[in-house]
Every structure is written in structure tokens, then in C-alpha cells.
Amino acid sequence: MSTLANQLVRAEKEEIARAIKTLLGRPLVSQHDDPAAFDLIRKRRQPLTQWFDYFCGWRLVVEPRQGYARLVKVRSEASATRPARRRRTTRAPFDRRRYTLLCLCAAELLTSPVTTIGMLAQRVVQAAAVEAEVPAFDPVRAEERAAFVDAVKLLEHYGAVSAMDGTTDSYLADEDAKVLYRVDTTRVIRLLAAPVPPSRAADVTALTAEARYGGDEPTETQRNLWARHSIIRRLLDEPVVYRDELTPAQSAYAASLTGRQIIRRAAEEAGFVLEERAEGFLLVDPDATATDAKFPDDGSHAKVAALLLLDLLVSAGPVTAARLDAEAAGLLRRFPQWARAYQSDGGGPRLAEDALDILTLFGLARRSGDRVAALPAAARYRVDRGTDLVED
């Protein structure tokens, strides 16, 4: 093969890897928001579609005319670690009420390509009224309008609706605010990543049932397919995967020659560095493109506290939750101008709780009862204090 041909093959592999990581970090890529990323995905759509289907069992939808690409990610196990977040300043996670309004808004937006915020609110009022288990929606109440605005702004973020006149935030202060929207009904439909349509699902668990794995009586081929997809999904979605968290079928697949080869191939083709240890697996993204959250990161006080408390967990072994609360309170006393949101009564326990949530999310610590222990991956952040050498 000529040098030019080698360069072309290498360039293609690098583009595919970059596109894979872009979609993992942002499962919905819009031409309007990131034309370069969308053009790359459109250009390499065939190998990308094949990669996600073979290694993950995920479907990639690329719509050149509508100008977006959607990676339909399905988790093998339910998880609450990545909630929808409010697009306003707080970035707080969605609560049950906001998820309910999000679903109602999405359903009502399918009826018309153009609407106003007042018309949409009234449709949601009517839809909630006919559903016995859905609380009534009252746009007169400020807290209800705030939840409604959070739902609409998330749909705006995904490009499902676009404000042509007015701003969604104006509805917070005025129930009669005038906002005109254009609705992308196709994109509204694409937002749902469920193998089973909600209208056909008997319960929430049935939404994620995937027929390709054979249900209660799978064949050997279907069991292997499930093991491959479920392991690689977890590797791509989670910071670290521990062997003791795998099912017997997953453990057997990961230990097999074929399984190890496929996992390594998936990591290589996506541009990750695979770290395999006795305790588990870790995919490292050198470019930090595929991740939606970083650690260490000084972007929040809780993450800074998490790193400091992690040093205690690694050096002192399992400690009580009360010990972490006391350590966090000590940090606040030592640095009275730092983390002002926690500089109040009960600030120490709140800071410790938020820091522990971060450590748990990143697979660095685990709480069991009243005790908290560092997990093997935490050794990556061990502080090397050095050794003083004294000459005679």
C-alpha cells in the first residue's frame, strides 16, 4: 500500500474515532449548533452506524435534510446518574413534576408545526386533566410556570422547538407572555430513546426491553450478543466498570478470548485507551471529547472537596460518614471565604454529601451503611507526599 493510501486510511480512522466520541458526548448533534461535527458524522455515517450497532446495539439516525444526527442510546440497566437538568442558572436536576410536564409538552407539540407558549400551556392543562394519575397543571401558580418553562427550555436546547418571537423566560413572570414557536415534530419524535413505544409498554421496565436478546429464553447467540452490548455500553457510559458489578454471563464473556479481543477492538477504533486491571476496566479518552463530566475539576466546590476527601479515604481506609462530615466542616473553617454556599449551619454535611455523590458517580467510592470506602480506581488520585532523605 502506498504512503498516500496509508495516510488516507489513517485519516479515515481518526475521523471515525472523533465522530464516535462526539456522539457519545452529545447524542444529538445539530448542524445549526456544530456544523463541523455534523458534517463529519454525515460524511462517515455508514461506518459509524455499523460501529454503534455491532459494539453497542445502538441505532444512529442521521437526517441530512433536517440537519441533525441522533444516537439512540439505550441502557441495559436503569440508572439515575444522568438526569435531565434545568437550562436556567441553577442547572438543578429535573424532578418528577418537570419530567411529567416535559412528556406532556412533547406529546402536545406533535399536533402543530407552529404554536405559542399560551396555547401549549392550555393543551398541557387539558392533557393533564384527562389523565387520572397526572396532577393537574395550573399555570396561574408561579412554581408551576417555572417547571413548565424548564420543560420547554430543554426542548429548545434539543432543537425540538425554536422561539421565532419572544423568549421562553418571559413566561416566568407573566402568564400572558407572548412567545411564538416553530416546532420540529420529527425531532420531537427522535428524542425518545426507548425500544418499546410508551403506548405499547405495560410498565416503565417494559420500555427498555430489547427483543433482539431473546427475552426469558435466549439462545446462546443472543446471550453472547447481550453480553457484548451490555459490557461495552457500560464501558462507554460509566467512568469505571468493576468486575464485581458484572453478572456471571458478563464476567464470562469479558474473560473469554473473543470477548477481550472485541472489547480491545472497540476501544481502539473509538480512540480510547483501555486500562484493564484485576478489579475491572476503564476507558480513557485522551481528548476528553466523549465525557459529559470531568474529575478532577475545579468547576465546582463539591468537586474540589471530593478530591480532598478522596485523599482521606485512600490513606485512612473506610471511614464513617460522620468523619467525612467533620472533614468537610474543617475545610469550611480553614477557608472561610471559599464555598460560600456551604458557609452556613449544616454546610459541612451538605458539602460532604455532595462530594460523596460525585465520588460515587465516578466510581471512586462506595457507601455501605454508615461507612464509606474508596474503590480501586481511587488509587489513580493518591497523593504522593514523597520521602525526606537525611544523610548521615
Mean pLDDT by 10 residues, the chain (392 residues): 78 95 94 94 97 96 93 79 83 92 95 94 95 91 96 95 95 93 93 82 79 89 95 93 93 95 96 92 90 81 92 89 93 91 90 93 91 90 53 38
Rounded CA separation 25/40 (Å): 15
Instruction: Say if strands 365-368 and 371-374 run parallel, antiparallel, or are unpaired.
Output: antiparallel
Q: Count other C-beta atoms under 10 Å from residue 317's C-beta.
A: 10
Backbone conformation region of residue 173, classed left if phi is above 0, alpha if psi is from -120 to 50, else beta = alpha
116: its cell numbers: 405559542
Sole residue written with cell 444529538: 28
Q: Provide the pLDDT for residue 391.
A: 41
Q: Is residue 240 a contact partner of residue 363, using CB atoms and an 8 Å limit?
A: yes
CA distance 292 to 356: 18
d(CA 352, CA 357): 9
Q: What is residue 383's predicted lDDT score, i.e. its pLDDT? A: 62
Q: How many CA atoms lie within 13 A of 335 on its CB side?
A: 12
Give start and end residues of each alpha helix (H) in 34-75: 35-43, 45-56
**With the CA atoms of 374, 377, 379 and 381 taken in that order, what torsion angle do they form, in degrees rounded to the nearest 10?**
-100
348 near 329, Cβ under 8 Å? yes
> Which pLDDT score, from 0 to 100, does residue 76 have?
64
Cβ atoms within 10 Å of 52's Cβ, excluding its own: 22
Question: Is residue 196 within 8 Å of residue 208, measured between CB atoms?
Answer: yes
Q: In which element (H, E) is residue 147 found?
A: helix 142-157
**What is the grid cell recorded at 323?**
468523619
Q: In the structure grid, which three cell numbers stand for residue 106, read together?
A: 412533547
Contact (CB, 8 A) for 18 and 286: no
In three-state secondary structure terms, 217 is coil
Contacts of 71 (CB under 8 A, 6+ apart): 23, 24, 27, 28, 52, 58, 59, 60, 61
182 touches 159 (CB < 8 A): no
> What is the length of the chain?
392
pLDDT value of residue 269: 96
**Where are the alpha helices (H) located in 270-320, listed in sequence order?**
301-316
DSSP secondary structure, 341-388, as one string? GG-STTHHHHHHHHHHHHHHHTTSEEEETTEEEE-GGGGGG-------
User: Model-level pTM?
Assistant: 0.86
DSSP 207: G
Query: What pLDDT is stored for residue 389 in this prediction?
Result: 38
What per-residue string of b and e applies to 11-46 under the rule 16 or more CB within 10 Å gives b? eeeebbbbbbbbbbbbbbbbbeeeeebbebbbebbe
Number of H helices, E strands in the chain: 14, 12
HSE on the CB side for 389, CA within 13 Å? Answer: 2
Give the integer Cα–Cα distance in Å for 71 and 59. 6
Q: Of 133, 199, 118, 212, nearest to 166 (Cα)?
A: 118
User: Residue 116: helix, strand or coil by DSSP?
Assistant: strand
- The rounded distance, in Å, linking the Cα atoms of 80 and 173 is 31
What span, in angstroms and rounded, lies between the C-alpha atoms of 267 and 298? 28
